[in-house]
Structure 1
């Protein structure tokens, strides 16, 4: 009995549950995930230790009526439930299912609105704080910090799955430092002219929305797109390395 208690204490001393989310995308008017999302889903379920899924939110684009879209969002949620069950992912017995018709803040890119967000608890080992965490925590007001390994799909504000590690590092430091206030800054590369589609603002807002969805007070954050006005390297860039370094998301410390 004593040994069991020791093992339980060891488990909780070295592991914790972290609330996270994963987004699955759909093609127009479809209620089953598109091919790319299925590939990402399969990668996700094998790369994380999921304790349980506790909430699903379904969304649609702005086409058609609110009632039709809500029913489509409901079907998308049910499709994800079947996918999760077939993958032996545990669903909370009080699983929350929320379908939105048109009553949510939509992205100007319709592809990014056709989705289901999976909210889940992940079993995590207690690791030392990341380099980014320490850098932000110790930063001075007015200092700019690049968010490493934040990547987006081409000409889109949708982050690729491998960006999540950095996004959750940022979330962690925001959660644990309630006085911290930031401006999220988006930058693009390659274009000498202005950011015609305002992708830099949309990408900064994507990080902002991620933090909002994870219950960070919006009064602690602003976002702004700078286009190509603040490049690290002169535009046009000499090579892809310089382009990558210009194509970035940074945060500026407003209060710490």
Structure 2
């Protein structure tokens, strides 16, 4: 997910939004804390284990060369970071800055030899990006091009005869435009009783699904099989039926990475078992397509 920074120096200002800050001070030319400051720092760590650090900035006084002070400020930042990295949560895009002596110096040199830790309290973490002035980049989703599906398919059989399948273009369009998480039932997809063989009259339904996948290369689906009547799917028939559709699609060069299958037996009936009539049994005995990605 992409983000952009609205305010470049948001982490520097102590007044920025609801950020908190904690400061420790160093002895001259030192990048480790003296016992007094270390005790204060350790106590702060113990009190803030559920908060989150967003930045650490290091400073020095003006004694010494610019290069020496820049290095010293960096070492002070590293010392603090190493002390807290396994104790307190740190933002993934954590920012450290070593100012050295390049800032407005206080007349009191001891005040300049410091590291400031910027952090967010646990109670404010839900507003973390808002506090930091970070907003999600709004990416407009480009509309899909209109796909025209054929109304029928004609095949020439090995014996020279022809088979024609009328296709449900409305159903194919519905699958092609479905959002991730949607589930659609394949109507009139029937199997030979107690087998996973699709009856000839239903072969067109498999070609409908094949055509949709061919014309929508980003589409990923899970094929889900369901049974009626039997509380226990002893032969795992629901999985075998889902796999039969999966195998048909793979055989017709749909990448395996775009497909998965699963059998649920009678664990997710539309109508409670035992069903009252054939209409309820037919509703429970179904194959559904779960849109995984589109």
TM-score, normalised by the number of residues in structure 1: 0.52
Quote how far apart the aligned CAs of 1:191 are. Answer: 1.1
Equivalent residues of 1:175, 1:216 under 8 A apart: yes
Pairing 1:203-218 to 2, within 5 Å after superposition: 203-218=241-256
Runs (4+) of structure 1 exceeding 3 A deviation are 15-18, 121-124
Q: Does 1:228 align with 2:266?
A: yes
Pairing 1:99-178 to 2, within 5 Å after superposition: 130-178=169-217
| CA displacement, residues 109-158 of structure 1 (integer Å, 9 cap, x when unaligned) | xxxxxxxxxxxx9789xx99711111101111111100111101111000
Partner of 1:181: 220
TM-score, normalised by the number of residues in structure 2: 0.46
Match of 2:234 among 191, 196, 199: 196
Q: Could you say which structure has the larger radius of gyration?
A: 2
C-alpha distance in 2 between matches for 1:240 and 1:123? 29
1:237–1:49 CA distance, 2 compared to 1 (3 A)? same
Match of 1:238 among 258, 271, 276: 276
Structure 2: gaps of 5 or more residues: 1-149
Structure 1: gaps of 5 or more residues: 1-14, 19-47, 54-83, 91-120
Highest RCO, 1 vs 2 (Cα 8 Å, sep ≥ 6): 1
C-alpha distance in 1 between matches for 2:167 and 2:197? 29
| Aligned partner of residue 134 in structure 1, secondary structure | helix
How many residues align structurally?
145
Higher helix share: 1
C-alpha distance in 1 between matches for 2:184 and 2:227? 16
Quote how far apart the aligned CAs of 1:184 are. Answer: 0.1
Equivalent residues of 2:167, 2:205 under 8 A apart: no
C-alpha distance in 2 between matches for 1:167 and 1:232? 23
